[in-house]
Structure 1
Amino acid sequence: MKYLSLFFILVAFIGCEESPKQFAKDPIDYYHLPTFVNDTLQAVIEIPAGTNKKIKYNREQKEFITDSINGQPKSINFLPYIGNYGFIPSTYSNIKNTEEAEALNILVLAESQPSGSLIKVIPIGVLRLSDNGLLKNKIIAVPALKEFQIFPVKDFDSLSIHYPEIRKIISLWFQNYNTKEKLSVLGFYGEDTAMSIIKKSSKN
C-alpha cells in the first residue's frame, strides 16, 4: 500500500525543463539530434508522466503520434507512466543490429513533460530487463537543472538510499505495464554502467 501511495505522490508532482520544443512548425528530426550537448545528455520525451497513452515518434513523418493497432489507439492497461518516457537521440538500442534497432529508451523522473520536449538530463542508472531472452536497457535519469528535479540526486546510490521505494515502484511497473509481454527484471545498475551503455550505443 505504501508503494501505491508513493506512486500517486510521484504522479502528482508529475512541467520541467528550460523551454521544451513541442510540435514545431518546421519538423525537427529528433531521432538524429546530438546525444550530448556540451557533455550533457539529451532526452526526447514521447510519453508524458501520468498518462496511459502510447505515443511514439515517427521517424519518417517526424511527428509524435499515438501508437495504434488495427486502427485503435494503444494504451497501457495498468497504472500510468511513472516518469517521462522517451529515447536518447542518435543511439541504437542494439549495437549488434543497428539497421533494425530503435534508439535507447529513457525514463526521466520529473514533472510531466509534453510529447516533443527535449530535456537535458543526468543518467543515474539503468534497469535491465529480459523480454523472452532479449536484453532491454531502460536508462533512468533526472533533469540536469536543479530547479526541475523532484528528486535531488545525481547518482544511483543517492536514489537507493534516500528513495528506496522508487526502485521497487519502477521495477513493479515495468514488470506489469505490458500485459502481452511479461518482462523479467535482471537488476539495477548505477550511473557508470548507464553512461557506458549510452556511449557504446551512440552514433556520435
Structure 2
Amino acid sequence: MPDYLKLPTTTNGLVRVVIETPRGAEAKIAYDRATRTFGYVRPLPVGMTYPYDWGFIPSTLGDDGDPLDGLVIHQAASAPGIVIKCDLLGALRVKQKDSGGEALRNDRYVFSPHREDAAEPVAADRVPDDLRREIEQFFLSSVLGTGKTIKFKGWQNADEARRAIKKGMKAFAACK
C-alpha cells in the first residue's frame, strides 16, 4: 500500500486530497501512518453523516501535527484511499481546543474535484455563503462528545488558502 502522506501535494496546479471518510459515512475513518491502512476512529453523533468527502492534503503538516484537512464538495461518494485532484475554493479558519485545553489552529480547506474534460475549472474561487453556513454547522456538530471545542475565525479565499497550504508543505519538508 502506498504511503499516502508522502504523495506530492500538487499536480499541474491542482491540489491532491486523499479521502479518508467518504460522503454519507456515519463514522470517522482515518489513515493510520504506522500500518498504512484506513481504520475506524469513532461514530459521528446520532443522525449525522459526512456531507461530502473528507480527507487530507498529502505532504503537508498543520499545527496539530497532522496533514492539513480537506473537504471535497461534490455529489458523489468515493471511498477511503481515493486520491482526488481538486480546485481549491478556500478555507475555514478554525481554532481548536482539545480535551486537555491546548489551543491550536486546525483549518479546513474546501475543494471541488477538477473536471478533466472541462476546458475551464468548474468551481468558482470561493465557497458560497449558504454552503459556508452548512459546513460550519457540520463541523460544530461533528465534535460533540469528543472533548474538543472549535471556534471559527473566518474564511479565506482561494489565494489565501493556497498560501497556507504552501506553509504546510514547508512544515512537512522541514520534518523529513
TM-score (normalizing by structure 2):
0.84
**Partners in 2 of 1:107 and 1:125 — Cα distance?**
10
Cα distance, 1:83 vs structure 2: 1.1
**Partners in 1 of 2:91 and 2:116 — Cα distance?**
21
Deviations 1:124-183 (A, max 9, x none): 1000111134221100000011669xxx42311xx42xxx32111001111111113231
1:177-196 map, 5 Å: 177-180=142-145, 181-196=148-163
Asked if 1 retains the 8 angstrom alpha-carbon contact of 2:16 and 2:86, the reply is yes
> Which SS does the other structure have where 2:61 is aligned?
coil
* 2:37 equivalent in structure 1: 63
> Which SS does the other structure have where 2:60 is aligned?
coil
* 2:100 equivalent in structure 1: none
Aligned amino acid, residue 96 of structure 2: D
* 2:167 equivalent in structure 1: 200
> Which SS does the other structure have where 2:27 is aligned?
coil
Extract structure 1 runs of 4+ deviating beyond 3 A: none
Q: Are residues 1:32 and 2:1 paired? A: no
Q: Which ranges in structure 2 are unaligned for 5 or more consecutive residues?
A: 98-102
**Partners in 1 of 2:13 and 2:123 — Cα distance?**
18
Asked if 2 retains the 8 angstrom alpha-carbon contact of 1:175 and 1:185, the reply is no
Which range moved further: 44-53 or 75-84?
75-84
Q: Are residues 1:173 and 2:138 paired? A: yes
Cα distance, 1:37 vs structure 2: 1.7
Q: Are residues 1:81 and 2:50 paired? A: yes
TM-score (normalizing by structure 1):
0.73
1:15-164 map, 5 Å: 27-67=1-41, 74-78=42-46, 79-94=48-63, 101-110=65-74, 111-132=76-97, 133-145=103-115, 152-156=122-126, 159-160=127-128, 164=129
**Partners in 1 of 2:149 and 2:49 — Cα distance?**
17
Aligned-CA RMSD value: 2.0
Q: Which ranges in structure 1 are unaligned for 5 or more consecutive residues?
A: 1-26, 68-73, 95-99
> Which SS does the other structure have where 1:183 is aligned?
strand
Which range moved further: 46-55 or 180-189?
180-189
**Partners in 2 of 1:145 and 1:64 — Cα distance?**
26
The percentage of aligned residue pairs carrying the same residue is: 28
**Partners in 2 of 1:33 and 1:170 — Cα distance?**
27
